[in-house]
Structure 1
Amino acid sequence: MLSLELGSALPILLPLLFGLEPWGGREVPARVSTLASILLLPVVLHAAWRLVRQQHRDRIEAFTTASLMDTVLSTTRGWLWAVGADGRFTFSSRASQELLGYEPSDLVGRPCSVIIDVADLKAARKSDAGAGEKGLLLSARHRGGRRLSVEVVGRRRFDREGRGAGFEGIARPLDISTAESPEAQEISDRLDHLLTTRTLITAFQPIRDLGSGEIVGAEALTRFVTSPFRSPDDWFDEADSIGRGPELEFLALETALLAAVELPTHLYIGLNLSPAACLDPRLRDVVRDSGLKPGRIVVELTERSAVADYARLAAALAPLRSAGLRIAIDDVGAGFSSMRHILRISPELIKLDRTIVAGIDNNPNQRALCAAMVSFSSQIGASLVAEGIETHAELATVAELGVNAGQGYLLGRPSVLPADWDHWGQRNRSSTSGNDESHDT
């Protein structure tokens, strides 16, 4: 309608405005031309006004739609994805970080087989996704190698000519109530028993200042004493696979804080937590009720999952950090501990992974990387801790390169015995010969 009004009026009005003949040079009385201008001008102005208003409304609608889409992409637990006809990802929302450990840029352009094998698709089961939608229950592969159950709802994409152009959809972590597999139920039963009996204990491993040799901290390591026997990693990975990871983490956290009361008061305590657990509102209450000063607590961010929203994580940890709690980035050199990750977290401690420390005395590339990390950590005001020191040559090398502190069997084995912890209170240059009296668990 707007275009019709403008199309009718402008061919007459514009020539009049510019002193031209609107009727192809045919003679028309001046009064007629003037009258036509007067009559048509309001029509043109009204049409132009309506056009401007419509464009304004269109811009508002487009902005609102874009904002809503950004909100959906930022807040939904579902991972939005699209693959082309060649089976390669053409789009990935930010939720891929939390669900699968991949940033969107890590997936776009790569084949979907990095996430789902052909065998997994063949083994997929149909599910009722609700609202009349039909989905698939299948196993996906996390970047860290573990398997996780997801529900996928998707549809086929078509190009302008109606030809198949791939698929698009959403993948959601499979809630335990939805997981019907006997394996998931077995894992859930084991966790229920563990949470009821609380059959786990904490071992502490000393951390030494490499300049003085004194023990300055201790990392809390969870040990499971229930059957069937599984390594700590297996317990936590299984809990994560059915969406119950935070439950197990908080049981381990409360157990560690309770045991930490027996440690010498000058030691800090390193506690391993995932980003998901750090976002849990229970964390502040658990730290407050522990009776330990926040200045003695160091949260070591584990590599089990990536950080999906750094701003949200920073906001959740801000009150605790203001009270004195410190953050360490664990396993630097492995998992998700990239330089970008470190910069976004701004930790007080950086822990070099054993893969960098092992054999560093014979590997110039590892020494170069360690030296770079010494300089980097100094520039950002963080202390550098070398993990997994097991030989005197490794100890001498990292100390010579300027690493602040160290941890490993050579410097002290993990122990569950308070009698061993008491010895750590002696502020002296304890032996690093590997012949101390602490007990490995």
Structure 2
Amino acid sequence: MGEQGMARYGKTTIRSFVGSHLLLCVLSVQAAFALAVAAGWPSLAHSFPQPPAGPVLVCALAGGLILVAGVTAARGVRAQARERDRSSAVSNLMETVSDTSSEWVWAVDGQENFSYSSGASAALLGYEPGELIGRPVSTVIGPDELAGARQAVADARGDHGTDWKGVRISYRHRNGTSVWMEVSGRARPTRNGARPRYEGTSRPLAAQTVQPLIEGHVRERIESTVRGGTILTAFQPIYELGTGTMTGVEALTRFPSDDGRSPEHWFSDAASVGLGGHLEFAALEAALFRTAKLPEHLYVALNLSPDTCLDPRLPMLLERSGLAAHRIVLELTERLPVAEYTPLLSALAPLRRRGLKIAVDDAGSGFSSMRHILRLRPDIIKLDRSLVAGLDSDHAQRALGAAMVTFAQEIGAQIVAEGIETMAELATVTRLGMTSAQGYFLGRPSLHPGEWESWKEARISGAA
């Protein structure tokens, strides 16, 4: 039952309780009066052989009042039972509606913690009601969305209103996906002046309504991130296996987000609304700006999609960065397929003549990466973690790794083994003749310039 129904039921019960007990009190007083009269009757009868009419009238009146009170009390008891049955029926109806409705019924206290949740939360958001009770609303609404939701509700309520209808809010499902719903509700002011409580309903929006909302939401998130200059860059070490020395880093983009979205998710969202290149250029500018604090002997691998490599602004951006061309590696990702390689080869040719190198990322993870290798003839082939994991214990995988080494030698490319996580994997890729390696075992991505400075003399042991 909702809070409003509970309050109504409580008031009715109190009235019924007070009314029935008041009748019992009246009945008791009248009974006491009658007993007092009865107790004094013998003395009256002794004093007056012929009883006066007054006491007789009083006794008759008391008896009548007792009878009336008894009948009234009986009616009160029956009315109370009917009211209790009616309240129970209303409670059951509210419970049925709450449990079977596709709309989510909820209530939060003044601290924005859930105090009630209907069963629809499980289907809509992946949380059982008991999992939400006592937890903050930020459990199902991300920090950025929560600020916008508060403002939208405040605007819908106006200066003095308590109700709002039709506010559209992006909730966060347990699995991390967005769920757009239309929210209506009411603010319940408290008597002590504390923050109000809220109660309301949320219903999922139709797909045709949601898509424009999602696109607008994504576009605003991407554009505000780029405008704010809040994109970060982490660098992960790359070691040459023959010498054990650190020779390069990969620039990895990090976004200021508390909702668990991965960088890949951000780039995919941006591409879906036509802002893929815009976000990639912003990430590239952020990475190039931070390369000034890296040791000068390290090359820098920069992730770009093939489409962004076609952008005529790219050569000028790389030149303005001040980073020597021989220290730049453009690492082509598979975010977007390549329909025609001729324009891409033409765009990359002048950059390669200046000394810039090309790498193909995630080789072996799909057909596209192998096609990139054959058409682009890269300087560096980066083996995907899926090929490296278990290389030390799986004979077939080792044979494939050896074949990739031979292939790279035939086309004059180096091989970087990505995702090295154990000493056994490191030893195996070294024995197979792979050129370089990176992974958590060798060094995690770092956002801190102080750590970058220490990479001047960084080495690994046991690689040769």
Say whether the fold is shared (TM-score over 0.5).
yes
Counterpart amino acid of residue 429 in structure 1? R
In the alignment, the residues of structure 2 paired with residue 335 and residue 276 of structure 1 have an alpha-carbon distance, to the nearest angstrom, of 19
Counterpart amino acid of residue 459 in structure 2? R
- Counting only pairs closer than 5 Å after superposition, residues 9-48 of structure 1 correspond to structure 2 as none
Tell me which of 363, 375, 380 is aligned to 2:411: 380
Tell me which of 270, 274, 279 is aligned to 1:248: 279
8 Å Cα contact 1:303-1:336 kept in structure 2? no
Structure-1 residue corresponding to 2:301 = 270
Normalized per residue, the structure richer in helix is 2
- Counting only pairs closer than 5 Å after superposition, residues 5-404 of structure 1 correspond to structure 2 as 181-226=212-257, 228-404=259-435
Q: Deviations over 1:414-441 (max 9, x none)?
A: 1011111111111x533589xxxxxxxx
What's the CA shift for 1:334?
Answer: 1.0
What's the CA shift for 1:231?
Answer: 1.2
Using a 3 Å threshold, how does the CA distance of structure 1 residues 432 and 337 change in structure 2: closer, same or farther?
A: farther
In the alignment, the residues of structure 2 paired with residue 389 and residue 229 of structure 1 have an alpha-carbon distance, to the nearest angstrom, of 24
Identity %: 55
In the alignment, the residues of structure 2 paired with residue 327 and residue 280 of structure 1 have an alpha-carbon distance, to the nearest angstrom, of 16
TM (norm. structure 2) is: 0.53
In the alignment, the residues of structure 2 paired with residue 216 and residue 337 of structure 1 have an alpha-carbon distance, to the nearest angstrom, of 28
8 Å Cα contact 1:299-1:327 kept in structure 2? yes
Using a 3 Å threshold, how does the CA distance of structure 1 residues 387 and 321 change in structure 2: closer, same or farther?
A: same
Structure-2 residue corresponding to 1:417 = 448
Structure-2 residue corresponding to 1:429 = 459
Counterpart amino acid of residue 371 in structure 1? A
**Structure 2: unaligned runs, 5 residues or longer:** 1-176, 178-209
8 Å Cα contact 1:194-1:226 kept in structure 2? no
In the alignment, the residues of structure 2 paired with residue 277 and residue 429 of structure 1 have an alpha-carbon distance, to the nearest angstrom, of 34
In the alignment, the residues of structure 2 paired with residue 278 and residue 372 of structure 1 have an alpha-carbon distance, to the nearest angstrom, of 29
Using a 3 Å threshold, how does the CA distance of structure 1 residues 185 and 336 change in structure 2: closer, same or farther?
A: farther
In the alignment, the residues of structure 1 paired with residue 431 and residue 237 of structure 2 have an alpha-carbon distance, to the nearest angstrom, of 21
8 Å Cα contact 2:361-2:369 kept in structure 1? no
Using a 3 Å threshold, how does the CA distance of structure 1 residues 223 and 267 change in structure 2: closer, same or farther?
A: same
Q: Deviations over 1:16-67 (max 9, x none)?
A: xxxxxxxxxxxxxxxxxxxxxxxxxxxxxxxxxxxxxxxxxxxxxxxxxxxx
Using a 3 Å threshold, how does the CA distance of structure 1 residues 303 and 430 change in structure 2: closer, same or farther?
A: same
**Structure 1: unaligned runs, 5 residues or longer:** 1-145, 147-178, 434-441
Corresponding residue SS for 1:423: helix
Using a 3 Å threshold, how does the CA distance of structure 1 residues 257 and 336 change in structure 2: closer, same or farther?
A: farther
What's the CA shift for 1:307?
Answer: 1.3
What's the CA shift for 1:341?
Answer: 2.3
In the alignment, the residues of structure 2 paired with residue 227 and residue 411 of structure 1 have an alpha-carbon distance, to the nearest angstrom, of 27
Structure-2 residue corresponding to 1:160 = none
What's the CA shift for 1:229?
Answer: 4.7
What's the CA shift for 1:406?
Answer: 0.2
8 Å Cα contact 2:248-2:301 kept in structure 1? yes
TM (norm. structure 1) is: 0.56
In the alignment, the residues of structure 1 paired with residue 366 and residue 277 of structure 2 have an alpha-carbon distance, to the nearest angstrom, of 19
Q: Deviations over 1:103-153 (max 9, x none)?
A: xxxxxxxxxxxxxxxxxxxxxxxxxxxxxxxxxxxxxxxxxxx9xxxxxxx
In the alignment, the residues of structure 2 paired with residue 265 and residue 277 of structure 1 have an alpha-carbon distance, to the nearest angstrom, of 26
Count of aligned pairs: 255
Q: Deviations over 1:341-388 (max 9, x none)?
A: 212101000000000001111111110110000000001000000000
8 Å Cα contact 1:306-1:336 kept in structure 2? no
What's the CA shift for 1:192?
Answer: 1.5
Structure showing greater Rg: 2
Q: Deviations over 1:184-208 (max 9, x none)?
A: 1111111121111021110000000
**Moved segments of 4+, more than 6 Å:** none
8 Å Cα contact 1:210-1:405 kept in structure 2? yes
Tell me how large the CA RMSD over aligned residues is: 1.8
Counterpart amino acid of residue 441 in structure 2? L
In the alignment, the residues of structure 1 paired with residue 365 and residue 330 of structure 2 have an alpha-carbon distance, to the nearest angstrom, of 18
In the alignment, the residues of structure 2 paired with residue 196 and residue 429 of structure 1 have an alpha-carbon distance, to the nearest angstrom, of 39
